Chains A and B, each alone.
Chain A
Amino acid sequence: MNAVSHRFRTLRSLSAVSRHSLRLTQVRWSRYSPEYRDPQTDKEYYRKPLAELTEEEKCEQELRKTQLIKAAPAAKTSSVFEDPVISKFINMMMKGGNKVLARSLMTQTLEAVKRKQFEKYHAASAEEQATIERNPYTIFHQALKNCEPVIGLVPILRGGHFYQVPVPLPARRRRFLAMKWMLTECREKKHRRTLMPEKLSHELLEAFHNQGPVIKKKHDMHKMAEANRALAHYRWW
């Protein structure tokens, strides 16, 4: 498994099969040429006083004044409420490009989480009230962090058989797996008529307390890795 990371995985389709070679055309491409730089929406980057900047940061800022910059996508803002984890989760929840629906489901989920926590808060005694977390964003982040696997399994072909070899995962893969497991669990394992915000809020709260099916899936992965730890030498990276 090559560890080279591709930032953009472009899908190629077979268009014409000629006599000598297979012709591949790109299906998804960008209208920007390579010299375009990514936009910087972080306000703190621009608010830093000139004295605090290092040489390379000064150079970067000078460069940004003259070089071409891509337009920021509609979902990316410089608002204080912007959260990259939540944006990523909304994108993963989105189906068929319906971002409006995905975003509304997300806000309804966070509201549901907040309502449940407030009900618990008002029903609890004074010393329990201190332990109940009511901010839905912290609950969301903590739940996803609890669901992240520490180690992953990769099928490696050796002697005609595929063995599941334990392998350390990069951070973005861990975050992706946590979100993917959460969404799969909510979409497939629940009753058909329950709405997504209800299912998701329930799962997020369970994951926040280190219980529930997503945490169980993470533990199953860890147990398989632990069982196959002798195969770790099949790795070559």
Chain B
Amino acid sequence: MATPSLRGRLPRLGNPRKPILKPNKPLILANRVGERRRDKGEATCITEMSVMMACWKQNEFRDEACRKEIQDFFDCASRAEGARKMRSIQDTGESGNLPPMKLNKLLQRFPNKSHV
């Protein structure tokens, strides 16, 4: 869809009618885009953590008694970290558009000149 027309919308000396638009900032394309709204994930490895803490409570926080639970917790944490990395790589690669950080860098290199 083309940009809606600005003819006769702004409060100017040559414009006889009431202004339709009263912008508080100049109507010029900025050299940055807004950030993507990142969806908040949930906490990972809660079950492993609670199992490990139950083991600690029984064995007075000694680590040698809870080796297996601690190892499970570490494995879960590394798996979650790997999954998070894969998700962030895939997210920024697909869905057509560049991620906002890269777009901003590109716009910094080729900015919209609002001056002459």
Contact = CB atoms under 8 A, between A and B. Distances in A.
A237 B49 contact: no
B43 A233 contact: yes
Contacts of B42: 233, 236
B41 A236 contact: yes
B61 A3 contact: no
Contacts, number: 52
B73 A150 contact: yes
Given A150-B73, A222-B61, A168 B50 contact: no
B44 interface: yes
Nearest to A227: B53
Interface in B16-72: 40-46, 49-50, 52-53, 56-57, 61, 63, 70
Nearest to A168: B77
Given A150-B73, A168-B77, A236 B40 contact: yes
A226 interface: yes
B81 interface: yes
Contact of A150 (B52, B80, B84): B52
A168 B56 contact: no
B45 A168 contact: yes
A185 B34 CA distance: 46
B49 A151 contact: yes
Contacts of B50: 229
A146 B41 CA distance: 33
Most buried by A among B42, B49, B52, B80: B49
Interface string A206-232: 000000000000010011011001001
Contact of B49 (A146, A170, A219, A232): A232
Contact of B44 (A223, A225, A237): A237
A148 to B, nearest CB: 9
Given A236-B40, A236-B42, A229 B49 contact: yes
Contact of A232 (B40, B43, B76): B43
A166 B84 contact: no
Contacts of A223: 61
A3 B49 contact: no
Contacts of A58: none
B84 A226 contact: no
A150 B63 contact: yes
A12 interface: no
B49 A222 contact: no
Contact of A226 (B53, B63, B70, B74): B53
B56 A226 contact: yes
Closest 5 CB pairs of A and B: A168-B77, A235-B43, A236-B40, A226-B53, A219-B61
8 contacts: A3-B84, A170-B81, A226-B57, A226-B61, A229-B50, A232-B49, A236-B41, A236-B42
Given A168-B45, A169-B77, A236-B41, 11 more contacts: A150-B63, A166-B49, A168-B74, A168-B77, A170-B77, A223-B61, A229-B53, A232-B46, A234-B43, A236-B42, A237-B41
